[in-house]
Structure 1
Amino acid sequence: MLTERQQEPVKWVKAAFRMCSIFCVQVYCRIRPLGAEFEECCVEMISSSTIQLHAPDGLKANRNGEYKETQYSFKKVFGIKTTQMELFEDIAKPLIEDLIHCKNGLLFTYGVTGSGKTFTMTGSPGEGGLLPRCLDMLFNSIGPFQAKRFVIKTDDKNGVEIQNQVDALLERQKRDSQQSVPKTPSSRQKTDPEFADMISPEEACKSENVDEDCCYSVFVSYIEIYNNYIYDLLEDAPFDPIRPKPPQSKILREDQNHNMYVAGCTEVEVKSTEEAFEVFWKGQKKRRIANTQLNRESSRSHSVFIMKLAQAPLDADGDHILQDKNQVNVSQLCLVDLAGSERTSRTRAEGSRLREAGNINQSLMTLRTCIEVLRENQMCGTNKMVPYRDSKVTHLFKNYFDGEGKVRMIVCVNPKADDYEETMLVMRFAEMTQEVEVARPVDRPICGLAAGRRHRNQAFRDELSPGIVFPALPPCELVDPADDQTLPRLIEVLERRHCIRQKMTEQLNRTSNTLKSMLQQFDSQLTAKENYLHDQRGKLGEKDKIISNQKMEIERLEKKSKMLEYKIDILQKTTNIYEEDKRSLQHELETQEQRLQRELSERRRMEQRMQGMVTDTRLKWEKECERRVNAKQLEMQNKLWVKDEKLKQLKAIVTESSSGCPTERPEKPERPSRERDRTAPQKRSASPSALPVRLPFCTAPPVHPRHRRSQSAGGEKWVDHKPSSNLDLDTVMQPIIPNAIKVSTPSEKALSKCHKYVLRHQELASDGEIETKLIKGDVFKTRGGGQAVQFTDIETLKQECPTAPSRKRRSGSGGGAAQMDDIENRVSCLVKDDSLYMMSFICLKLPNKQT
């Protein structure tokens, strides 16, 4: 047992060894250009490994009153001017070299929806992404060393099998004859135009460290993880137009080496970049994409493109592959295009789109959780269980995080201000991912056998230049004169050496003769070639002259074409100016015509309005003149009638005073019906002074206390408007209107139920008495839907006190003077009585919902 002091160096050595055998997840950042120049940018590239996020103007400030700025560091940051080739050189090229050296790799893109993940992984014509460049480099490197088709084939348990040439040929013929089995793409077929010019010949890459003693076979598969289900994009299911069946999901399984794989997934053997492109495009057409508010072609699933490389060693002769599948090394590179995280509040997703977004966000959240648990276990020394099985994405790639290969991540960032909050969450996750440590994969060398192709090549070189060995001379020392063996043996050896020398001389002569003949032939051929070259040079000189003449002609034509283009440009600009002037004049003409039409329509409208106003004014003044004439006639008739009445009353008073006894008041002559009807309400008076004849109290019959019936009491309904400020007089001669609606303030509701309207108005007369006026009118509806009142008559009620000094009778000797005073008072009352008058029409209009 070692002591603690002795164990400390061992711990340090183990820690150092562990540090050398692990590496962190490498995270790269790529910034895509803005969609428009006027958009606000929230991402700034500080250095080749650091970016800075600053909040846009619309977000709240921090406590210091300034916008919050955060910096994030990565392995490397690629700006908006980074090309696809530069990105491939730094990120994917090392993974291809590791794949050729039997090491696994995982590369996935991560970011917000619309940040350029699919473009980074796939690219576009002329700008191929990481996936086509990886395939191109792989086939450029192993192209001459590929095995024949179907010699290496995959099984259903994530492994490979080796077949001989005969079995491979039979299987090829068998699969070609079967129509139901999907055929392997042929390299002679025409390449899809979508990928024909993705990679230019100048950008082609190749790995030089390729083991020539092995044969290689490439298998590709393409799957997608949609709604947490795995679907094979290369599966050729039979199509039933009557009852189409949805694609069947696949399950994950674990092989004998504890590696996860998709059971039943189609793996296609490809022999060139074009075939791989064709297979990829076939699966790409089946991938689920949709149009959202944030992205026109948004990926609704996580896509995984798997490149599997099988390396089988050759036999000692270098002609055939070893028929031992345990000697075959299989490595794979997974290129993952993760779907973008999105907020439903921004995309306004509904139905199936909402479910897809929820599953995408859930799988990305599971990936974050696994990264957090791994980081916590490594930094804090805990042993928490990583929830790989919560999502198909993390469950499929759990071996990579456990040390089965390199893991690299590209964080794609959209710098527009609308994605600031989601970009900040992506940056935090990426920064945390860089701290996760993954065990370095161990190299898996091929089992030690004799070198295959290298050994065969050395043997072939030895055969081409065989070594000639002379037999060694025997010992030629003579010690005995009777020795009869040494000399014969030496003679034999010398004869053999002489024979070998003769053979060598003959061979040398033959070789020299052959060489001479070959040199002569070569000289003759060289002479012929020189003559041919001389002829060709002459023809070439002629062609050069023709080419120079053609170049001069081309230059002349180019100058002429440039001059014509210049003239065409001038004519085009002149035409554009004329067309612009024409459009402006047409626009001005249309504007003037529209203005003229508007003025004409305004004039016609004004004429119609003025005609209507003239007609209304003429009718109004005609009615007003007719009303004034009628009122004046009625006023003159009333004045004439009043004068006649006063004269008659004066005559009656004089007659009464001369006879000395009271007589009854003679009856008044009846007025015409029209005058009586219009003046009757005006003549009524409740005061004694309004009566033309004062009856003596001694002869008057007893008066019963009963109410006086007003002329307003008819069959119509009345609105009795009595203000709250009026006083109750409690006199006998009071008007009573049956079935009347009594109000203190007129209202539309009350007026709509009645036909007549009366207003009680009290005021103080000149002699100090209370005078009540009943102002009456008719109610009718207006055009606006309201109620209007037209006043037609006024009735005056006056109350006098009988105990006033001017009303007391004088007795005694002054009877004659008292009688004369009484006559004078009554005459003066008649002369001064102005209770009879006619009020002109007054119209009161009450609008809707108002009083």
Structure 2
Amino acid sequence: MIRQAKGKTPRRPPPKKPSNNQKDPVGVYCRVRPLGAEDEECCIEVISNTTIQLHAPDGLKANRNGEFKETQYSFKKVFGIKTTQRELFEDVAKPLVEDLIHCKNGLLFTYGVTGSGKTYTMTGSPGQGGLLPRSLDMIFNSIGPYQAKRYVFKPDDKNGMEVQNQVDALLDRQKRDSQTTVPKTPTTRRIDPEFTDMISPEEACKADGVDEDSSYSVFVSYIEIYNNYIYDLLEETPYDPIKPKPPQSKILREDQNHNMYVAGCTEVEVKSTEEAFEVFWRGQKKRRIANTQLNRESSRSHSVFIIKLAQAPLDADGDNVLQDKNQVNVSQLCLVDLAGSERTSRTRAEGSRLREAGNINQSLMTLRTCIEVLRENQMCGTNKMVPYRDSKVTHLFKNYFDGEGKVRMVVCVNPKADDYEETLLVMRFAEMTQEVEVARPVDRPICGFTAGRRQRNQAFKEELTRRLEERGGPVDIESPTVLNQLFQSFLHFLPMMIEEYNKTANMLKSVLQEQDSNLLSKENFIQEQRGKLGEKDKMVQNQKNEIDRLEKKSKMLEYKIDILQKTTNIYEEDKRSLQQELESREQRLQREVSEKRRMETRMQGIVTDAKLKWEKECERRVNAKQLEMQNKLWVKDEKLKQLKAIVTEGKTENRQPQRPSREKDKVPAKRSASPSPVPTGPPVRPLHRRSHSAGGERWVDHKPTTNVDLDTVLQPNIPNAIKVNAPNEKALSKCDKYVLTHQEVASDGEIQTKLIKGEVFKTRGGGQAVQFTDIETLKQENPVAASRKRRSSETGPDGEPVEGDWTDVETRCSVAVEMRAGSNLGPGYQHHGYPKRRKP
């Protein structure tokens, strides 16, 4: 058994309600309002008293066959433009009022597009009262003679009623009378003239089957749901002209029977139709309405007028209400005027009007969603949760859809063509609502007193009044003066009554003495009968003893049954608690398993990302290292080739005779380079290698502005090259090769030029990248100094050629001379011309 946490009250189980498998569908009625102008296009046609047909207006597109689609919708009853308010009330609201008087709840709400006549249907106009005033009038016409005095019933602020004793009720009435003596403003005392003659006397109706042995009281409350907040329209707050306070919103709570109600809502006890009208109009003035493009007085909130009827049986004498709270039955009828759905494209709402329209449409959308889920649960056998709490409207009336009373809806439509699309949505929602079934409310038990208590009490009063009238006394028997006179007359006739009593007693005594003789003869017979009765008494006593023994045994068995029943209840409670604990643990285990799976998936993703990242990093480093080693290998191979060529050239020069040097044979410039061989391995980024065109490769010739032009014989020649001073993306996107000309001062003071070459690749991000693959060095030297240095290094002290060691050879051959005209690895060279002869 789960131990309850400290400081928490366990949830009270709901009371057991009598089961009722009978269900009734939601009653949906349709009312068509007249057109505003006779020349307007009409899109609704009443086919029968249960069917209407929608015609698409001329401005809408036709279907694939080139015809406009006509749709028919059926309702419980359709009311045309000639339907009166009385006819509508007789079919829609009168059954709900009769159920209210017989302790059953009811919900009636109007639904439709803005400007379709919902407020007129609910409220009406002078001479044409709507559903609300006619319902009040029928209630007071039915229970008028049986109403309790004011303050006999009192709300307990928990959606219930309690019965006050006569003293407390009298004190509350005196307090009210003392407060009403103070003159009030005319607006709070006078009924608005628009609501004085809403119902003609000949249209008044009355319910049948009213319990005459019960006492009744009517309480009304009026609220509105504005921007999904609940406000009390009957709440009286002191007005502060300096710093007015905004109205405070109310909250929804759940009573002990798990019914929703508005906490702290004002409930006013009314005793007549006129008083109820006054309370209604007082709240109607506070309701939020505004002028829009579609309606001059558009409701900006959902209004709910709640009528509570408290009834309790009279006591055994039929005078006062029975002082038992459990015998009080409270039924309520909710009349809801829903705000109309509207499109901001038509109303052109802005600011607060736009916010109001959004909240109205959202609450109506929640109502549609709840109806759809209820319909799906009933038709498909599912058990989806109905989202009542998403809106205050659905949360307040969720008990009605769960079987706490009948539900009726009046769909108001405007037949003009401009509302066709929105009317089509309303028709679809109404058609779906008719498929929802609500449990039929069960009749509540009535007090077990005998019927006719009020009539007997009334008949006694009438008889007493008649006798007083015959004697010439006053008629009002309830006044203290009449009671005092009755007591004085009783004292006056008391001696005469005693004398008559003594005479009657003496006469009876003589009669009894005469009968004593007759009784003596009968005593013998009585003695015999007594003997027989004694025997019968013994038999009866034995039977009583046996009955007592059986009753004790029966009580013992009942006691054991109670103990077993309590033990069973305890075990069932433990079983339920253990099942709840098991379910909670299973849910927690499932959450932990799902969390573990999510963590495993996340870790696998992290490991995979890290693995891919490190694989790419290793691949990049391996490629970079491989390229570096290849470059080093290419440089070594090139140096060996140059060394071999120089050694071979030196041997050839030693074999051939040396030609005399002339001034005209001076080499004007000497080009030394350390080219790199063509790479034989795969490209670094083969996926982004640019394909070569048939016309050859194009180069980007990057020559900074700081370079110095050298007047040498051989100059680098790059055909079809784009010459730039700084690299840019546009030039790189058009070429495949890239060369950078860089100049610096060598150790011997001559200017040394380096051609840094590379390949252009397209990156995955859409940019351009350059990978350098070769460096070519150009160096300018004096040919005379170079030849002297070569001869001094090639001849010994005897004038004989001496072969130098490897170090001198590598030093001499670190710079090679290349005189080719062009190459696919880089730019070729063209003959620029010999320099001028120097004077000896």
TM-score, with structure 1 as normaliser: 0.51
Aligned-residue offset at 1:192: 2.7
1:186 touches 1:275 (CA, 8 Å); kept in 2?
no
2:21 touches 2:439 (CA, 8 Å); kept in 1?
no
Q: Could you tell me which residue of structure 1 aligns to residue 328 of structure 2? A: 328
1:45 touches 1:79 (CA, 8 Å); kept in 2?
yes
Structure 1 distance, partners of 2:185, 2:521, is 74
Structure 2 distance, partners of 1:208, 1:422, is 41
Aligned-residue offset at 1:164: 1.9
> Residue 235 in 1 paired to residue 268 in 2?
no
Aligned-residue offset at 1:172: 2.2
1:184 touches 1:269 (CA, 8 Å); kept in 2?
no
Aligned-residue offset at 1:161: 1.2
Q: Could you tell me which residue of structure 2 aligns to residue 311 of structure 1? A: 311
Structure 2 distance, partners of 1:236, 1:403, is 34
Q: Could you tell me which residue of structure 1 aligns to residue 55 of structure 2? A: 54
- Does the residue aligned with 2:206 lie in a helix, a strand or coil? coil
2:111 touches 2:410 (CA, 8 Å); kept in 1?
yes
- Does the residue aligned with 1:59 lie in a helix, a strand or coil? coil
Q: Which amino acid aligns with 1:105?
A: G
Q: Could you tell me which residue of structure 1 aligns to residue 45 of structure 2? A: 44
Structure 1 distance, partners of 2:326, 2:286, is 36
1:84 touches 1:127 (CA, 8 Å); kept in 2?
yes
- Does the residue aligned with 2:47 lie in a helix, a strand or coil? strand
Q: Could you tell me which residue of structure 1 aligns to residue 120 of structure 2? A: 119
Aligned-residue offset at 1:190: 5.1
After superposition, the CA RMSD in angstroms is: 3.0
- Does the residue aligned with 2:373 lie in a helix, a strand or coil? helix
Q: Deviations over 1:118-177 (max 9, x none)?
A: 000000011110000000010011011100001111111011111122211211223454
Q: Could you tell me which residue of structure 2 aligns to residue 68 of structure 1? A: 69
Task: Give matches, 1:269-284, under 5 Å.
Answer: 269-284=269-284
Q: Which runs of 5+ in 2 are unaligned?
A: 1-17, 467-514, 523-840
Q: Could you tell me which residue of structure 1 aligns to residue 295 of structure 2? A: 295
Task: Give matches, 1:702-717, under 5 Å.
Answer: none
Q: Could you tell me which residue of structure 1 aligns to residue 147 of structure 2? A: 146
2:100 touches 2:106 (CA, 8 Å); kept in 1?
yes
Q: Could you tell me which residue of structure 2 aligns to residue 194 of structure 1? A: 194
Q: Could you tell me which residue of structure 1 aligns to residue 266 of structure 2? A: 266
Task: Give matches, 1:292-441, under 5 Å.
Answer: 292-441=292-441
Structure 2 distance, partners of 1:57, 1:88, is 36
Q: 1:92 to 1:343 in 2, by over 3 A?
A: same
Q: Deviations over 1:466-512 (max 9, x none)?
A: xxxxxxxxxxxxxxxx99417999xxxxxxxxxxxxxxxxxxxxxxx
Q: Deviations over 1:270-319 (max 9, x none)?
A: 00000000000000000000000000000000000000000011001100
Q: Which runs of 5+ in 1 are unaligned?
A: 1-16, 466-481, 490-851
Structure 2 distance, partners of 1:104, 1:155, is 19
Q: 1:18 to 1:58 in 2, by over 3 A?
A: farther
1:105 touches 1:332 (CA, 8 Å); kept in 2?
yes
Q: Could you tell me which residue of structure 2 aligns to residue 25 of structure 1? A: 26
- Does the residue aligned with 1:431 lie in a helix, a strand or coil? helix
Aligned-residue offset at 1:453: 2.0
Q: Deviations over 1:590-628 (max 9, x none)?
A: xxxxxxxxxxxxxxxxxxxxxxxxxxxxxxxxxxxxxxx
Q: Which amino acid aligns with 2:117?
A: G
2:111 touches 2:340 (CA, 8 Å); kept in 1?
yes
The farther-off stretch of 168-177 and 154-163 is 168-177
Structure 1 distance, partners of 2:69, 2:381, is 34
Q: 1:125 to 1:218 in 2, by over 3 A?
A: same
Aligned-residue offset at 1:191: 3.7
Q: Which amino acid aligns with 1:115?
A: S
Task: Give matches, 1:79-94, under 5 Å.
Answer: 79-94=80-95
- Does the residue aligned with 2:333 lie in a helix, a strand or coil? strand
- Does the residue aligned with 2:386 lie in a helix, a strand or coil? coil
Structure 2 distance, partners of 1:260, 1:197, is 35
Q: 1:464 to 1:200 in 2, by over 3 A?
A: closer
Q: 1:20 to 1:86 in 2, by over 3 A?
A: farther
Q: Could you tell me which residue of structure 2 aligns to residue 157 of structure 1? A: 158
Task: Give matches, 1:680-719, under 5 Å.
Answer: none
Q: Could you tell me which residue of structure 2 aligns to residue 582 of structure 1? A: none
Q: 1:55 to 1:264 in 2, by over 3 A?
A: same
Match of 2:518 among 485, 493, 509: 485
Structure 1 distance, partners of 2:330, 2:305, is 16
Structure 2 distance, partners of 1:463, 1:199, is 39
Aligned-residue offset at 1:193: 1.0
Q: Deviations over 1:246-270 (max 9, x none)?
A: 0000000000011100000000000
Higher Cα radius of gyration: 1
1:316 touches 1:453 (CA, 8 Å); kept in 2?
no
1:40 touches 1:416 (CA, 8 Å); kept in 2?
yes
Q: Which amino acid aligns with 1:245?
A: K
Q: Could you tell me which residue of structure 1 aligns to residue 226 of structure 2? A: 226
1:29 touches 1:410 (CA, 8 Å); kept in 2?
yes
Q: 1:458 to 1:186 in 2, by over 3 A?
A: farther
Q: Deviations over 1:534-593 (max 9, x none)?
A: xxxxxxxxxxxxxxxxxxxxxxxxxxxxxxxxxxxxxxxxxxxxxxxxxxxxxxxxxxxx
The farther-off stretch of 300-309 and 19-28 is 19-28
Task: Give matches, 1:792-807, under 5 Å.
Answer: none
- Does the residue aligned with 2:331 lie in a helix, a strand or coil? strand
Q: Which amino acid aligns with 2:111?
A: Y
Q: Could you tell me which residue of structure 2 aligns to residue 106 of structure 1? A: 107
Q: Could you tell me which residue of structure 2 aligns to residue 206 of structure 1? A: 206
1:316 touches 1:456 (CA, 8 Å); kept in 2?
no
- Does the residue aligned with 1:33 lie in a helix, a strand or coil? coil
Aligned-residue offset at 1:325: 1.1
Structure 2 distance, partners of 1:228, 1:74, is 30
2:313 touches 2:447 (CA, 8 Å); kept in 1?
no
Structure 1 distance, partners of 2:401, 2:264, is 24
Task: Give matches, 1:647-796, under 5 Å.
Answer: none
Structure 2 distance, partners of 1:422, 1:51, is 16
Task: Give matches, 1:594-633, under 5 Å.
Answer: none
Between the aligned residues of both structures, percent identity stands at: 84
- Does the residue aligned with 1:174 lie in a helix, a strand or coil? helix
Structure 2 distance, partners of 1:345, 1:463, is 75
Q: Could you tell me which residue of structure 1 aligns to residue 15 of structure 2? A: none
Q: Which amino acid aligns with 2:244?
A: P
Structure 2 distance, partners of 1:197, 1:43, is 33
Q: Could you tell me which residue of structure 2 aligns to residue 135 of structure 1? A: 136
Structure 2 distance, partners of 1:184, 1:334, is 30
Q: Could you tell me which residue of structure 1 aligns to residue 781 of structure 2? A: none
Structure 1 distance, partners of 2:516, 2:244, is 105
Q: Could you tell me which residue of structure 2 aligns to residue 788 of structure 1? A: none
Report the number of matched residues.
458
- Does the residue aligned with 2:64 lie in a helix, a strand or coil? coil
Q: Could you tell me which residue of structure 1 aligns to residue 674 of structure 2? A: none
Q: Could you tell me which residue of structure 1 aligns to residue 170 of structure 2? A: 169
Task: Give matches, 1:561-572, under 5 Å.
Answer: none
- Does the residue aligned with 1:194 lie in a helix, a strand or coil? helix
Structure 2 distance, partners of 1:166, 1:436, is 49
Q: Deviations over 1:222-268 (max 9, x none)?
A: 00000000000000011111111100000000000111000000000
Structure 1 distance, partners of 2:301, 2:388, is 18
Structure 2 distance, partners of 1:406, 1:132, is 20
- Does the residue aligned with 2:332 lie in a helix, a strand or coil? strand
